[in-house]
Amino acid sequence: MGRSVTGVSEHFDCVIIGAGFSGLAMLAHLRDAGFTCLLVDRQEDVGGTWRANRYPGVRTDSDYPIYSFSFSPEVRNEWRWTQRYAPGAEVLAYLEFVADRLDLRGDMRFGVDLRRAEFQDGRWHLSFADGSTTTGTYLISCMGILDDPIWPDVPGLDSFTGTLLHSSQWPREGIDLTGKRVGLIGLGSSGLQILPAIAPECAEVVVFQRQPNYVVDSTFFPVTDEEMDRTRREYDEIWERAKAHPFGVDMVIPAHGALDVDPEERRRIFESKWQEGGHHFANETFHDLATDSAASDAASEFIRGKIREIVKDPHTAELLCPTDYSFNGKRVPTGHRYYETYNLPHVHLIDVKSQPITLVTPAGVVVGETEYPLDVLICATGFDAMTGPLTRIDIVGRDGLVLRDKWANGIRTNLGISVHGFPNFFMSIGPQTPYSNLPVPIQLGAQWVTRAIQFAERTGTELEATPESEEWWAAEVDAAGRETVMYEEGLKAKAWFFGANVRGKPRELLVYMGGGQKYQEMCRQAEADDYASFRN
Ligand code: NAP
């Protein structure tokens, strides 16, 4: 046993890993329930993904009342949001405020990088990169779903002598791109937020596109005092609606399917929600864009029409039109004047689908016979999503079973919360939890885990998914996915929610597509059954 990570206490009821939305909610609830807690994070302060991802243009694409917590009256009443779809810096400041206002910092340690957690003699033994250790009765992963960056698989990347950046590891002090020749690889949600934010200051931007995306435009309204007051009064109702929505948003599920109306009416409805911006297009046009391939095709065609309308150069417009998969095949990204940016004369779109990047040299990027000289190369190439953070470290359960090995041929969990062989280990938004606006399942999950731990303490039980529950849940996740267009289209699009963006990762659904409201019902049922499916 090395020195204690806190320098004071060796043992805690609960050890929480990660200080983002999940970690803060978990710590607040467990501490208020009277448990001794330690939260550790490898970054220098709270924020999780919002501390790591500080690239230009970063912002949430969820409306602020549901991209925040509802559980704390103090936080609800005292925090003032300035914009819908808040910029990343504002979300980070919010999380810092939550930590301060709820007085959580005393139970946190930063710059502490977990390397190994092993269950032995009824407790979790944790060791950190600096040699320090601690133990906990319960181990709770709040490491987030997108914490493990992946770099593009192109030869010579390390030889680049300009500035090489990943969207999720942006320099804390920022970087001056004025007058620079900048290359951008990756046009998922991150890359397409970066492009319009940096293009005006760069001398030249070369965008290397493999697969285009269906990008929905967003407008950032300021939040007025009246609106903020109204939201504060209506927080509970807003959250009840978000909890009842499959994707955890405060939106009305439309009555009609896309093909229930004639083409002219369909176009009118698409247009009105396109103008409203953001996820209104995906959620408030027709109820079947995620479940019916003809409806998804109709939305795809509408967006391709928008691209052709906005982008002046016809060749560039065609390159930006996705044709290999349909709308919802990837998580729908929202941008801000993304397509318009390609009308700037110094922004060049290079197709690296028909001719992949050949090589990165010290001076730039080579595609075929052409070298593009660059001062800065930005890789917005995504993450080893959902499982990456949990398999990067050694999580060792009963009888030496390592989580990474257990999942090598397929993920097994009960409700995405607990894994057989790993007693008293819980995950916030683990693999196989709902595809959703995340603060909603995060808050509800923290409350569920807190009650589960109270039950375990009361009854002297160790909680751990039964093997039967894992098989049941794997089948449910698969069946729910197959009822959506995300299944086939996600595979075609090589979406991260299928693990298809990582070479060698098994192709399987990493999220539950059956809807947050159904999922919460199943969690409630598990609790009503005295956690029978979590007791061996
Ligand atoms: P991503 O969606 O996985 O996108 C990665 C991009 O990198 C794709 O365009 C991919 O192309 C490209 N790429 C990878 N290797 C490449 C190569 N060798 N050559 C050319 N292109 C390559 O990653 P992300 O944009 O970081 O977003 C991940 C998730 O983070 C999002 O889906 C979302 O859940 C979350 N996010 C949310 C927000 C928000 O607004 N709230 C903002 C940022 C991120 P292919 O498509 O061809 O594979």
User: Per-residue confidence at 4, pLDDT binned at 50, 70, 90?
Assistant: confident
Q: Give the model's pLDDT for residue 1.
A: 52
Nearest to 471 by CA among 479, 461, 463, 462: 479
Q: Give the model's pLDDT for residue 7.
A: 74
Show Cβ contacts of residue 224 under 8 Å, excluding neighbours closer than 6 positions.
none
Q: What percent of the chain has pLDDT over 90?
A: 96
Query: What CA–CA distance (Å, rounded) separates 148 from 18?
Result: 13
Query: Residue 272 is encoded by which pair of tokens?
Result: 């009105």
For residue 8, pLDDT over 70 is answered with no
Query: Residue 534 is encoded by which pair of tokens?
Result: 């979590």
Q: Hey, is 342 helix, strand or coil? A: coil
Q: Is the distance from CB of 66 to CB of 278 less than 8 angstroms?
A: no
Q: What is the pTM of this model?
A: 0.96
Helix 293-310 to helix 485-493 angle (10° resolution) is 50
Query: What CA–CA distance (Å, rounded) separates 448 from 56?
Result: 36
Nearest CA to ligand 1 atom 39: 60
- C-alpha torsion 161→163→166→170, nearest 10: 150
Half-sphere exposure of 332 (CA within 13 A, CB side): 27
Ligand 1 centre to CA of 21 (Å) is 21
Ligand 1 atom with the smallest distance to the CA of 188 is 25
Ligand 1 atom with the smallest distance to the CA of 168 is 26
Q: Does any ligand 1 atom lie closer than 6 A to the CB of residue 239? A: no
Q: Give the model's pLDDT for residue 221.
A: 84
Ligand 1 centre to CA of 476 (Å) is 27
Ligand 1 centre to CA of 536 (Å) is 40
User: Per-residue confidence at 317, pLDDT binned at 50, 70, 90?
Assistant: very high
What is the pairing mode between strands 394-396 and 123-128?
Answer: unpaired
What DSSP letter does each residue of 423-479 carry, written as one string? TTEEETT-TTEE-S-THHHHHHHHHHHHHHHHHHHHHT------HHHHHHHHHHHHH
Q: What is the pLDDT of residues 77-129, one digit of tens each?
A: 999 999 989 999 999 999 999 999 999 999 999 999 999 999 999 999 999 99
Query: What CA–CA distance (Å, rounded) separates 152 from 164?
Result: 12
Q: Please give the backbone phi and psi of residue 9, each rounded to the nearest 5 degrees, phi first.
A: -100, 145
Q: Does any ligand 1 atom lie closer than 6 A to the CB of residue 365? A: no
Helix 516-528 to helix 225-244 angle (10° resolution) is 60
Neighbouring-strand partners of residue 206: 183, 348
**Percent composition of the chain: helix, strand, coil (DSSP 3-state, to 5):** 40, 20, 45
Q: Please give the backbone phi and psi of residue 336, each rounded to the nearest 5 degrees, phi first.
A: -140, 110
Ligand 1 centre to CA of 234 (Å) is 35
For residue 62, pLDDT over 90 is answered with yes
Which uninterrupted H or E stretch holds 15? strand 11-17
Show Cβ contacts of residue 115 under 8 Å, excluding neighbours closer than 6 positions.
127, 128, 129, 393, 394
Q: Does any ligand 1 atom lie closer than 6 A to the CB of residue 154? A: yes
158: how many CB neighbours lie within 10 A of its CB? 8
Q: What is the pLDDT of residues 187-229, one digit of tens each?
A: 999 999 999 999 999 999 999 999 999 999 988 889 999 999 9
In angstroms, the Cα distances linking 525 to 243, 248, 252, 417, 519 are 16, 19, 26, 14, 10
Q: Does any ligand 1 atom lie closer than 6 A to the CB of residue 380? A: yes
Q: Give the model's pLDDT for residue 5.
A: 81
Nearest CA to ligand 1 atom 3: 382
Please give, one letter per residue, the 3-state secondary structure of 272-302: HHHHHCCCHHHHHCCCCCCCCHHHHHHHHHH
Mean pLDDT computed over every residue of the chain: 96
Q: Does any ligand 1 atom lie closer than 6 A to the CB of residue 357? A: yes
Q: Give the model's pLDDT for residue 19.
A: 98
For residue 457, pLDDT over 70 is answered with yes
Q: Does any ligand 1 atom lie closer than 6 A to the CB of residue 149? A: no
Q: Give the model's pLDDT for residue 232.
A: 95
CA–CA–CA angle 130, 132, 136 (5° rounding): 135
User: Per-residue confidence at 143, pLDDT binned at 50, 70, 90?
Assistant: very high
Q: Which of 54, 68, 146 to mutate to test the pocket of ligand 1 (most atoms within 8 A of CB)?
A: 146
Amino acid of residue 3:
R
Nearest CA to ligand 1 atom 5: 381
Nearest CA to ligand 1 atom 14: 381
Task: Please give the radius of gyration of the chain, using alpha carbons only, rounded to the nearest integer.
Answer: 23
In angstroms, the Cα distances linking 465 to 138, 421, 426, 462 are 14, 8, 10, 10
Neighbouring-strand partners of residue 117: 126, 395
Q: Hey, is 167 helix, strand or coil? A: helix
Ligand 1 centre to CA of 227 (Å) is 33
Q: Give the model's pLDDT for residue 468.
A: 98
Q: Which of 193, 501, 502, 507 to mutate to test the pocket of ligand 1 (most atoms within 8 A of CB)?
A: 501
What is the pairing mode between strands 370-373 and 364-367?
Answer: antiparallel
Q: What is the pLDDT of residues 347-369, one digit of tens each?
A: 999 999 999 999 999 999 999 99
